[in-house]
Chain A
Amino acid sequence: MNKPYNNKAWFFILPVFLTVAFSAIVPLMTVVNYSVQDIISPEQSVFVGLEWFRAVMRDSELHSALLRQLIFSFCVLLVQIPLGIGLALSMPAQGWKSSAALVILAMPLLIPWNVVGTIWQIFGRADIGLGGYVLSRLGMDYNYASNSLDAWITVLVMDVWHWTPLVALLAFAGLRSIPDAYYQAAQIDGASRWAVFRFIQLPKMRGVLVIAVLLRFMDSFMIYTEPFVLTGGGPGNSTTFLSQYLTQKAVGQFDLGPAAAFSLIYFLIILLLSFVLYNWMQSAGNSGQTTGANHE
């Protein structure tokens, strides 16, 4: 990359900076402000330094919510990324079939999140929902409201249903951007389908896949509305993910100080993990490209 250095480019960035900063900086400073105070009432508060941060670090319920969250996000990525790539590869390139597949795949993405929870709430119930009804007819003792494992799997399946199309759409857009010349060259070389995927399609999709992985990671790590509607975090605490635990603290118990400290730590965890994921994908992509070059 030999982009010219020109500080006038800031004029291009300025509108974005102003609009985002308007909504970002003041609320963030307010949360930082909360996190170091004990807010007794809106008029009365005491500076407590880092006390809330220490308390949050010791909170064992938070540790288990964090562990659940990590497992959940890991499962989400493990299922949705390969499945999304697979779907993008199996989409017809053009024609009405391609359009129809795109429109249908995109539909779950366009449903408000609370409705997604409602759809699966209805669908999974053994008395009024098709999914729950079929499973219980097959002899399975399925009940997402009382069995932790069932609840977990339902939330995961719901998330796969809801979000895999995002990965598929991004991967599809990436695939369509590969010029035909690459495929023609591969054909002349007699490359196998796997080689075409590994050395042409995958590297060319890397940009959009980085977006897909990071988006899925961030959003699954902050998942709130859907499991809240579906299971309310239960049974027990089995589907109480970080965001919901945080909301219980902030809204339910109105512990603004600890909740603010918690949000900041939460934010830093997402930031750190996104950074690690991003760098890992960049280096994996680079080594992939060098093996590709060696291969040729």
Chain B
Amino acid sequence: MNKRKKGDKQSSWPRLLTLALYIVFTLIPLYWLLNTSLKTNEETLSVFTMWPNQPTLDNYKVIFTDASWYSGYINSIIYVAINTVLSLLVALPAAYGFSRYRFLGDKHMFFWLLTNRMTPPAVFLLPFFQLYSTVGLMDTHIAVALAHMLFNVPLAVWILEGFMSGVPREIDETAYIDGFSFPRFFMRIFLPLIKSGVGVTAFFCFMFSWVELLLARTLTSVNAKPISAIMTRTASAAGMDWGILAAAGVLTIIPGALVIWFVRNHIAKGFAMGRV
């Protein structure tokens, strides 16, 4: 018989403690990455210290001054942005179609889309390479963006379809009766209703494209080489350059953290259905 107030129903102590413990678990390895990035390699390998004895930004300096390093971030951001925008553009109408209509082969189509997330990449790399060479897209940002759509678009359709199915059909019908055209209805009424879904979807597209290594590495050589591929070269014959690797790792977290910061309210607010 819990007579709790609505506002504090989620903030009891054991729950906050669970969350706090998990957050600590998340942060410790990240702290260690940051710690390593601020040390020289000599310090990392010689003594064990909880924080850098002689904090240095040299590792970061290398990344920001060497074009072969920082261009990796720019390349990654470009293809990830293209991928996220394109994925959302094609997935929004498709998800609407799936959530509102039955049509010839709809279930098969939906299922086929999902199966594209289930292909183990190793053997598909070579055909991918051949395909993108044939169409002359090798080593371009658009090639990686297109290749990543293979696994992002099905996910986007899937998540968006779930959110859209939560919006009652009556809203569509009322809008048409009120004289809204389809594009206007979609942009002005429907999209705001599934804002949180779009935010979550954009975040997932960004994320999966940002972290993927194998396809991005296969389809690029110089001009569009992503940061995750550049990072693999620190494991050279001369041993690991832990400091630069850690600094590059720290920097890969920042764009994603910014993205989640921007979509956090869309995730948190949930549906605005109650207010319609």
Residues of A at the B interface (CB closer than 8 Å) are 3-13, 15-17, 19-20, 22-24, 26-28, 30-31, 34, 83, 86-87, 89-94, 98-99, 101-115, 118-120, 122-123, 127-131, 133, 161, 164-165, 169-170, 172-173, 175-181, 183-184, 187, 190, 192-193, 207-208, 211, 214-215, 218, 222, 224-225, 242-243, 246-247, 250-251, 256, 259-260, 262-263, 266-267, 270-271, 274
A110: B residues at CB distance < 8 A: 207, 210-211, 252-253, 255-257, 259-260
In the complex, what's the smallest C-beta–C-beta distance from B230 to chain A, in angstroms? 10
Interface size on B, residues (CB 8 A): 111
User: Is B44's CB within 8 Å of the partner chain A?
Assistant: yes
In the complex, what's the smallest C-beta–C-beta distance from B206 to chain A, in angstroms? 8
Cα distance, A98 to B16, chains bound together (Å): 11
Establish whether residues B122 and A247, one from each chain, have CB atoms under 8 Å apart when the complex forms.
yes
Residue of A nearest to B161 (CB): A207
Give the number of A-B contacts (CB < 8 Å). 315
Cα distance, A247 to B123, chains bound together (Å): 7
Known: A10-B104, A270-B118. A92 touches B147 (CB 8 A): no
Establish whether residues B91 and A16, one from each chain, have CB atoms under 8 Å apart when the complex forms.
yes
A225: B residues at CB distance < 8 A: 213-214
Establish whether residues B101 and A103, one from each chain, have CB atoms under 8 Å apart when the complex forms.
no
Establish whether residues B48 and A222, one from each chain, have CB atoms under 8 Å apart when the complex forms.
no
In the complex, what's the smallest C-beta–C-beta distance from A253 to chain B, in angstroms? 12
Known: A10-B103, A250-B123. A224 touches B214 (CB 8 A): yes
Establish whether residues B128 and A27, one from each chain, have CB atoms under 8 Å apart when the complex forms.
yes
Establish whether residues A22 and B146, one from each chain, have CB atoms under 8 Å apart when the complex forms.
yes
B28: A residues at CB distance < 8 A: 123, 130-131
Establish whether residues B196 and A173, one from each chain, have CB atoms under 8 Å apart when the complex forms.
yes
Establish whether residues A181 and B90, one from each chain, have CB atoms under 8 Å apart when the complex forms.
no
Cα distance, A204 to B122, chains bound together (Å): 37
Besides A99-B268, A177-B163, A178-B270, 12 other A-B contacts (C-beta < 8 A): A4-B102, A90-B16, A92-B16, A93-B268, A102-B268, A109-B211, A112-B227, A172-B267, A173-B200, A193-B2, A266-B120, A270-B118
Residue of B nearest to A99 (CB): B264
B127: A residues at CB distance < 8 A: 26-28, 30-31
User: Is B52's CB within 8 Å of the partner chain A?
Assistant: no
Known: A19-B86, A106-B257, A190-B1. A112 touches B252 (CB 8 A): yes
Establish whether residues B257 and A114, one from each chain, have CB atoms under 8 Å apart when the complex forms.
no
Q: Which of B19, B33, B162, B213 touches A119 (beta carbons < 8 Å)? A: B33
Q: Which of A30, A207, A259, A263 touches B119 (beta carbons < 8 Å)? A: A263
Cα distance, A113 to B228, chains bound together (Å): 8
Establish whether residues A99 and B261, one from each chain, have CB atoms under 8 Å apart when the complex forms.
yes
B23: A residues at CB distance < 8 A: 101, 104-105
User: Is B245's CB within 8 Å of the partner chain A?
Assistant: yes
User: Is B121's CB within 8 Å of the partner chain A?
Assistant: yes
Known: A179-B273, A211-B158. A109 touches B207 (CB 8 A): yes
- 15 examples of A-B residue contacts, CB within 8 angstroms: A10-B104, A16-B113, A16-B153, A23-B128, A90-B10, A92-B10, A110-B255, A115-B249, A119-B33, A119-B249, A169-B200, A177-B166, A177-B196, A222-B121, A224-B214
Q: Mark B150-165, 1 if CB is under 8 A from A, else 0.
A: 1001110111001101
DSSP majority for the B interface? helix
DSSP majority for the A interface? helix
Cα distance, A243 to B121, chains bound together (Å): 8
In the complex, what's the smallest C-beta–C-beta distance from B45 to chain A, in angstroms? 6
User: Is B274's CB within 8 Å of the partner chain A?
Assistant: yes
Known: A5-B102, A16-B157. A112 touches B211 (CB 8 A): yes
In the complex, what's the smallest C-beta–C-beta distance from A167 to chain B, in angstroms? 12
Establish whether residues B10 and A91, one from each chain, have CB atoms under 8 Å apart when the complex forms.
yes
Establish whether residues B48 and A165, one from each chain, have CB atoms under 8 Å apart when the complex forms.
no
Top 5 closest A-B pairs, CB basis?
A110-B256, A12-B97, A176-B270, A90-B15, A112-B228
